[in-house]
Structure 1
Amino acid sequence: MPGPLSNLKVLDFSTLLPGPYATMLLADMGADVLRVEAPGRLDLTRVMPPLEDGVSTSHTFLNRGKRSLGLDLKQEGSADLVKQLVTEYDVVIEQFRPGVMDRLGIGYETLKAINPNLIYCAITGYGQTGPYKDRAGHDINYLSLAGVSSHCGRRETGPPPMGIQVADVAGGSHHAVMGILAAVIHRQQTGEGQFIDISMTDAAFALNTMAGAAALAGGQEQKPESSMLNGGTFYDYYQTSDGRWLSVGSLEPQFSDRLCDALGIPDMKSFALSQNPEHQQAIREALKSNIAQKTLAQWQDVFANVDACVEPVLTITEAAEHPQLKARGMVIDVAKGAGGTQKQIGHPIKFSATPCESRYIGRTLGADNGDF
């Protein structure tokens, strides 16, 4: 069966991470995605190490399943080609600063006049309005302005530089896909297209969820290591004797009781449930000293059949080999253009009737120019 979005055609003007990740998800779900990229302005993800066969693995992952059109939007005739293309496309997604597409002659109002049903999604750092709309930024800046960084990390060392791009992906990419699909449903019901304004800062601010509710409605500002889930309790990471880490999330009584029994500290069961900071500090110290006495592998053996919300901190390579992720098909082999395959992260959404398909890795720039 074709993917659930097999009737959707997407014209993608985005670069780097947020937009390309969003359109990769759409392509996996069956959408026909044509990526438009300037030949003279290289997308940095094409050259980011490591490389396989001379091509960045970041590029081949982020742009899998998409066709590639090399087109300098500043050159005469380029805007005319885009206007011609947009008559056949459902969605335009772009990631320029506000006003850039207008100056190129292919902004929303211009394209909407050609295709009134068009869904146009613009992903920016700060949105199309407000005093910061023209300001440059990156993931770390969006998380900072959105308040997320203020309650992450440790009191002594401050907020951590994250290993993943939270505002870019959980903010920009996922909210863009959600907005586009909602607009598609609206168009099916009304025949009306629309403009979607995605701010990665807005989306990051929304990710504050419970901490945001506590601060805005409850008047309680969350600080690092101050709440149940950000290091204020024994819910935390603990180092093993071989320098690895164990995650302990045993909050509920049935889980904390099993945790204490497995560690040989049954007298700490009441402390695990206590709101008293001294009790929490005591059980944290007990966990720290006990977990430091065994290797990660030994602790994995201990908790293999103990349902206590205790799991090892794995590397990405180790996670890829974990039986749960393997059973879920989260590592796949994606076809290369010249034959062979490349291992990539699979699509996380599982459809029963219209499964996702990752057809081929990201193509060379302009590989499909002959079709246009």
Structure 2
Amino acid sequence: MTGPLQGVRIIDMTTVLMGPYATQILGDLGADVIKVEPPTGDTVRDVGYRRNDGMAGIFLHVNRSKRSIVLDLKKPCGRDALLRLVADADVLVYNVRPQAMARLNLGYEEIAKVNPGILYVGLYGYGQAGPYAAKTAYDDLIQGAVAIPTLSKMAGADIPRYAPSAIADRIVGISAVNAITAGLYHRLRTGEGQSIDVPMFETMAQFILGDHMGGATFEPPLGPTGYGRVLDPNRRPYRTKDGYLCVLVYNDKQWRKFFELIGKPGLMDSDPRFATIGERTKHIDALYGMVAEVMPTRTSAEWTALLESTDMPVMQLHTVDSLMTDPHLDAVGFIDVVEHPTEGQIRSMAIPSHWSKTTPKVERQAPRLGEHSAEVLAEAGFSADEIRKLAEEGVTLIAPATE
């Protein structure tokens, strides 16, 4: 492995999307991620299109750069096996409620007895000091809890709608990566392990309120909540003569150029509503309405050429299908067709960051259930007879060798 986290070992007890997305990033960065799954496997293994059971597309996209081991943690031998893995690990990550970890007798105190220097990282719904502590959380529920559907209706949707992506899971997953890498840096300096909680609700509340606390930032409030520019119903891709374009006219220089292009030079000087960014924000509906009115007078190609010639921000509106063939992504090699050991040819996305020295790379594609059980147990000191006995008792699963 060549990535910056080479030598870091992570015990990954996460499932579905939020936790696996975080640990995949860490694995892509060079960490040895050991995905601990129950005998039934991660539930997302069978969500969506798949060639073989347990290897669906969504699973493939959040579980590469990992090794899979099956352990039934409800059985004493399974728990004991996990503790032997923990003894030589740097990080343990889970994304069930802390109460579930306590029922398994795998809380921080128990884990720290085995490995005092470990980072014990929990990704779950709500901080444990509040009344929601024991509530179940999923992406949709957290989106609702932080007002995303309400904001979508304020911005022009006919009814409150969730964002059409699991943004809470992915944002919290990235936040967990930040917390883990910072925790590793602290341990490098001090030798101290610790417990780290990354609650979804509070993480997403910070994400949303940073934009939308608005006038309520001040006490007493100076105005209502909400960021007017991003909530304006006219903030959307603009219809052109033959399609849609994404255009953002933002600063003074850009608005002056835009007014000149549409035959209204000097409007910023003659109309005080448009003179400064503060005033434009107050009257954003009129501005965006003006843009929406003029865009249908030219084709998308004509507008793109015109706006780019004056250094104005413009971008085509993609579909998911066209995004996959975007010329920029093609030029940087972002999507590549690779050969999966069991799933044949699949599309795999590149690591988006670039490093001048410790270059990360995808070490392996997403594993089959229990593909590395025997390998990981042997590394932890289990003999061949012990591994065979664990398999016979249903504590672990040894995936058959590939042809």
TM-score (norm 1): 0.88
Match of 1:368 among 361, 367, 372: 372
Residues 335 and 360 of structure 1 are in contact (CA less than 8 Å); yes or no, is this contact kept in structure 2? no
Residues 153 and 160 of structure 1 are in contact (CA less than 8 Å); yes or no, is this contact kept in structure 2? yes
CA distance in 1, matches of 2:42, 2:15: 6
Say which is worse superposed, 281-290 or 67-76, in terms of deviation. 281-290
SS at match of 1:143: helix
Shift of 1:193: 0.3
Residues 250 and 308 of structure 1 are in contact (CA less than 8 Å); yes or no, is this contact kept in structure 2? yes
Shift of 1:74: 1.2
Q: Is 1:355 matched up with 2:341? A: no
CA distance in 2, matches of 1:251, 1:309: 9
Q: Is 1:200 matched up with 2:185? A: no
Shift of 1:318: 2.4
Relative to structure 1, is the Cα distance of residues 155 and 342 closer, same or farther in structure 2, using a 3 angstrom cutoff?
A: closer
Relative to structure 1, is the Cα distance of residues 278 and 196 closer, same or farther in structure 2, using a 3 angstrom cutoff?
A: closer
Residues 98 and 107 of structure 2 are in contact (CA less than 8 Å); yes or no, is this contact kept in structure 1? no
SS at match of 1:311: strand
Residues 228 and 282 of structure 2 are in contact (CA less than 8 Å); yes or no, is this contact kept in structure 1? no
Residues 335-358 of structure 1: CA deviation (Å, up to 9, x unaligned): 412485422232222221111211
How do 1:285-324 residues align onto structure 2 when only pairs under 5 Å count? 285-324=289-328
Residues 256 and 266 of structure 2 are in contact (CA less than 8 Å); yes or no, is this contact kept in structure 1? no
How do 1:57-206 residues align onto structure 2 when only pairs under 5 Å count? 57-154=57-154, 157-170=158-171, 172-206=172-206
Relative to structure 1, is the Cα distance of residues 310 and 266 closer, same or farther in structure 2, using a 3 angstrom cutoff?
A: farther
Gaps of 5+ in 1: none
Shift of 1:241: 3.9
Partner residue in 1 for 2:396: none
SS at match of 2:93: strand
Residues 245 and 296 of structure 1 are in contact (CA less than 8 Å); yes or no, is this contact kept in structure 2? yes
SS at match of 2:229: coil
State how many pairs are aligned: 366
Shift of 1:265: 4.8
Shift of 1:140: 2.8
CA distance in 1, matches of 2:363, 2:280: 54
CA distance in 2, matches of 1:289, 1:49: 41
Shift of 1:253: 1.7
CA distance in 1, matches of 2:372, 2:18: 23
CA distance in 2, matches of 1:148, 1:22: 22
* Larger of the two Rg values belongs to structure: 2
Residues 166 and 204 of structure 1 are in contact (CA less than 8 Å); yes or no, is this contact kept in structure 2? no
Q: Is 1:24 matched up with 2:53? A: no
CA distance in 2, matches of 1:276, 1:352: 42
Shift of 1:266: 4.1
Partner residue in 1 for 2:249: 250
Residues 39-69 of structure 1: CA deviation (Å, up to 9, x unaligned): 22x4332122232556311111100010001
CA distance in 2, matches of 1:181, 1:320: 31
SS at match of 1:51: coil
Say which is worse superposed, 204-213 or 153-162, in terms of deviation. 153-162
Residues 285-313 of structure 1: CA deviation (Å, up to 9, x unaligned): 33223223444344334434342112222
Partner residue in 2 for 1:215: 216
CA distance in 2, matches of 1:58, 1:146: 25
Shift of 1:135: 1.0
How do 1:217-236 residues align onto structure 2 when only pairs under 5 Å count? 217=218, 219=221, 220-223=223-226, 227-231=228-232, 236=236
SS at match of 1:77: helix
Could you tell me which amino acid in structure 2 is paired with residue 125 of structure 1? G
Partner residue in 1 for 2:398: none
SS at match of 2:315: strand
Relative to structure 1, is the Cα distance of residues 155 and 323 closer, same or farther in structure 2, using a 3 angstrom cutoff?
A: closer
Relative to structure 1, is the Cα distance of residues 236 and 5 closer, same or farther in structure 2, using a 3 angstrom cutoff?
A: same
Gaps of 5+ in 2: 378-403
Say which is worse superposed, 81-90 or 272-281, in terms of deviation. 272-281
Q: Is 1:240 matched up with 2:240? A: yes
TM-score (norm 2): 0.82
Residues 155-177 of structure 1: CA deviation (Å, up to 9, x unaligned): 5535432122222111x201111
Match of 1:337 among 337, 341, 348: 341
Shift of 1:185: 0.8
Residues 118 and 194 of structure 1 are in contact (CA less than 8 Å); yes or no, is this contact kept in structure 2? yes
Say which is worse superposed, 361-370 or 25-34, in terms of deviation. 361-370
Say which is worse superposed, 5-14 or 283-292, in terms of deviation. 283-292
Relative to structure 1, is the Cα distance of residues 134 and 238 closer, same or farther in structure 2, using a 3 angstrom cutoff?
A: same
Residues 99 and 134 of structure 2 are in contact (CA less than 8 Å); yes or no, is this contact kept in structure 1? no
Residues 63 and 361 of structure 1 are in contact (CA less than 8 Å); yes or no, is this contact kept in structure 2? yes
Superposition RMSD on alpha carbons, in Å? Answer: 2.7
CA distance in 1, matches of 2:357, 2:215: 41
Residues 65-88 of structure 1: CA deviation (Å, up to 9, x unaligned): 100012221123100000111111
